[in-house]
């Protein structure tokens, strides 16, 4: 055989030729698909899948391999098509809904994520799970009224449970509907009298509604059942602060300091006392200290940190800092997670021209989530507005170096930043390279 004929039969370098249909099992096809995708050969992966699916109706394993591998590699267009095909073939498989929902949310398509569940009929066995997922999506979007509506629909259609009552009570607290929150927590506690979490939330709602004696009863019950419980003690301290019984609050905090030195929640309580006693400078110092120590997943604690810092900086006549903390407080109150709330307000600030405030929020996000691709690329876009755009290049190149391929939207934005930045710097070759890569990333996303 001549070298020319042999070369015609070899697959191109970097591509994996699918074996003949007869030799493919579902598992071997799935392995081949993953190998193709890992090598960037999406056409090869599609060919392998089509060869397999032409002659069999049971395509679950290779189709899921195609969908999940392409989602991980950032090819949203193929991944979405594969997941939708799976849902048409296997409409009762709940995990496929969750995975496609996650893909839609990650690629900035929350309305499509909601549409997965909105059309489920009342007799659909997945409807209850769909309502729960819709509640979570609306919460992440900061649309509390629709989240509440979905949760109430679940209660109406499937009956009240302690969990649902507790979740609805939390939503009412966020909306400052304290009487409604008290009713929901009370009903949930009646269903499960030993639930310490629900009793804690009931005490918080009573305290917010200024029913201080009833709140103290609930916190005291928690301490009676479990003496020296941190949560119950800190709520007692916070209750004393609300009642302006600051000497008693200090005594509780001193005892807690001996047991839990350096705790951020205790530090925050001290900041509140300093502010109430007319020392806003010390309140700001302790508030910033508490904020820096607060783990990112303690949303309520961060809300309170921002609230006391808002008051402290207003008293210190620093309106810009006060306004920044006020807006971060509001963003967190309307969000299910810290990141979602802060990134939305940061991007809104930047889009409306409040660049310094947007930069401050992005830096706060990166303190909490070092290396986060979405925050870094937003900071790169912001740095592109500076007279010297080399900082934008540095940040965007870092995003491309570090971000997993599944973060396709962030990668696309990083290429766009680099194309513009290199063009401004007069470097035509890298600018053209990143324009091409942006177009390729856009095609993979189906954008």
Q: What is the mean pLDDT of the chain?
A: 89
How much is the pLDDT for 285? 97
Nearest residue to 263 via CA among 301, 228, 236, 225: 301
- Whole-angstrom distance, CA of residue 168 vs CA of residue 154: 11
* 118 pLDDT tier (thresholds 50, 70, 90): very high
Question: Is there a contact between 26 and 61 (Cβ–Cβ < 8 Å)?
Answer: yes
- Whole-angstrom distance, CA of residue 285 vs CA of residue 274: 10
Q: In the predicted model, what is the mean pLDDT of residues 182-207?
A: 96
Residue listed under structure tokens 């899948």: 49
Q: In this model, does residue 8 exceed pLDDT 50?
A: no
* 178 inside domain: no
Last residue of a domain, one of 90, 110, 129: 90
* 324 inside domain: no
Question: Is there a contact between 232 and 247 (Cβ–Cβ < 8 Å)?
Answer: no
Last residue of a domain, one of 90, 107, 136: 90
Q: In the predicted model, what is the mean pLDDT of residues 124-143?
A: 92
Q: In this model, does residue 426 exceed pLDDT 50?
A: yes
DSSP helix/strand/coil, 82: helix
* 181 inside domain: no
- Whole-angstrom distance, CA of residue 26 vs CA of residue 28: 6
What b/e sequence results for 338-377 when a residue is b if at least 16 CB atoms lie within 10 Å of its CB, and e otherwise? bbbbbbbbbbebbeeebeebbbbbbebbeebbeebbbbbb
How much is the pLDDT for 5? 46
| Degrees, nearest 5: CA angle 82-83-86 | 90
For 47, 103, 207, 251, 408, the CA distances from 441, given in Å and listed in that order, are 21, 16, 51, 59, 7
Q: Which residues contact 250 (CB under 8 A, 6 or more apart)?
A: 273
* 361 inside domain: no
Residue listed under structure tokens 């030729």: 17
Q: In this model, does residue 1 exceed pLDDT 50?
A: no
Count of structural domains, the chain: 2
- Whole-angstrom distance, CA of residue 224 vs CA of residue 217: 10
- Whole-angstrom distance, CA of residue 325 vs CA of residue 305: 9
For 308, 315, 343, the CA distances from 284, given in Å and listed in that order, are 8, 10, 24
Residue 203 CB-half CA count within 13 A: 24
Q: In the predicted model, what is the mean pLDDT of residues 112-118?
A: 95
- Whole-angstrom distance, CA of residue 407 vs CA of residue 108: 11
Residue 36: CATH number of its domain: 1.25.40
127, two tokens: 């409807």
pLDDT tens column, 234-249: 999 999 999 999 999 9
pLDDT tens column, 370-413: 888 999 999 999 999 888 889 999 999 999 998 888 888 889 99
How much is the pLDDT for 355? 85
Question: Is there a contact between 198 and 185 (Cβ–Cβ < 8 Å)?
Answer: yes
How much is the pLDDT for 100? 96
* 28 inside domain: yes
- Whole-angstrom distance, CA of residue 290 vs CA of residue 312: 14
- Whole-angstrom distance, CA of residue 62 vs CA of residue 31: 8
How much is the pLDDT for 306? 93
Q: In the predicted model, what is the mean pLDDT of residues 339-364?
A: 81
Tell me the pTM: 0.75
* 74 pLDDT tier (thresholds 50, 70, 90): confident
Of 77-86, 308-317, 406-415, the poorest mean pLDDT is in: 406-415
Please give the full DSSP string across 168-217, using - where no structure is assigned: HHHHHHHTT-HHHHHHHHHHHHHH-TT-HHHHHHHHHHHHHTT-HHHHHH
CB-CB neighbours of 59 under 10 Å = 20
Q: In the predicted model, what is the mean pLDDT of residues 6-18?
A: 49
pLDDT tens column, 252-274: 999 999 999 999 999 999 999 99
Q: In this model, does residue 231 exceed pLDDT 90?
A: yes
How much is the pLDDT for 15? 52
* 409 inside domain: yes
**Boundaries of domain holding 406:** 393-447
* 69 inside domain: yes
Please give the full DSSP string across 321-369, using - where no structure is assigned: HHHHHHHHHHHHHT-SSHHHHHHHHHHHHHHTT-HHHHHHHHHHHHHHS
Last residue of a domain, one of 51, 68, 90: 90
Q: In this model, does residue 22 exceed pLDDT 60?
A: no
* 337 pLDDT tier (thresholds 50, 70, 90): low
Q: In this model, does residue 101 exceed pLDDT 70?
A: yes
């Amino acid at each position: 055989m001549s070298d020319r004929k042999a070369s015609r039969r070899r697959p191109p370098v970097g591509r994996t030729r699918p074996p003949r249909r007869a030799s493919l099992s579902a598992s071997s096809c799935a392995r081949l698909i993953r190998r193709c995708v890992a090598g960037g050969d999406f056409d090869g992966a599609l060919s392998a899948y089509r060869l397999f699916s032409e002659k069999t109706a049971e395509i679950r394993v290779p189709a899921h391999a195609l969908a999940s591998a392409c989602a991980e590699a950032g090819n949203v267009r193929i991944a979405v098509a594969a997941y939708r095909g799976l849902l048409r073939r296997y409409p009762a498989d709940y995990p496929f809904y969750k995975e496609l929902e996650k893909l839609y949310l990650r690629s900035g398509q929350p309305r499509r994520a909601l549409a997965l569940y909105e059309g489920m009929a009342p007799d659909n066995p997945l409807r209850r799970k769909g309502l729960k997922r819709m509640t979570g999506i609306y919460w992440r979007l900061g649309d509390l009224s629709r989240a509440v509506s979905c949760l109430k629909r679940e209660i109406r259609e499937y009956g009240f449970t302690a969990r649902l009552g507790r979740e609805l009570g939390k939503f009412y607290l966020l909306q400052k509907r304290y009487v409604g929150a008290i009713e929901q927590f009370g009903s949930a506690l009646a269903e499960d009298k030993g639930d310490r979490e629900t009793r804690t939330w009931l005490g918080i709602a009573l305290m917010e509604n200024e029913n201080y004696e009833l709140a103290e009863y609930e916190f005291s019950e928690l301490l009676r059942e479990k003496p020296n419980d941190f949560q119950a003690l800190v709520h007692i301290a916070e209750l004393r602060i609300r009642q302006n019984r600051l000497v008693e609050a200090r005594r509780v905090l001193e005892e807690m300091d001996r047991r839990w030195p350096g705790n951020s929640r205790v530090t925050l309580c001290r900041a509140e006392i300093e502010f109430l006693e007319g020392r806003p400078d010390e309140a700001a110092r302790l508030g910033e200290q508490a904020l820096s120590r607060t783990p990112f997943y303690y949303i309520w604690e961060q809300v309170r940190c921002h609230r006391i810092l808002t008051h402290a900086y207003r008293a210190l006549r620093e309106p810009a800092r006060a306004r920044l903390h006020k807006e971060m407080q509001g963003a967190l109150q309307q969000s299910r997670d810290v990141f979602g709330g802060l990134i939305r307000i940061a991007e809104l600030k930047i889009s409306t021209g409040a660049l310094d405030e947007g930069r401050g929020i992005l830096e706060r996000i990166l303190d909490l989530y070092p290396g986060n691709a979405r925050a870094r690329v937003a900071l790169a876009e912001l740095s592109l507005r500076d007279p010297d755009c080399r900082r934008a290049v540095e940040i965007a190149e870092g995003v491309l170096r570090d971000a997993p391929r599944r973060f396709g939207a962030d990668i696309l934005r990083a290429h766009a930043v680099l194309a513009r930045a290199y063009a401004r710097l007069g470097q035509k070759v890298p600018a053209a390279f990143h324009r091409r890569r942006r177009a390729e990333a856009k095609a993979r996303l189906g954008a």
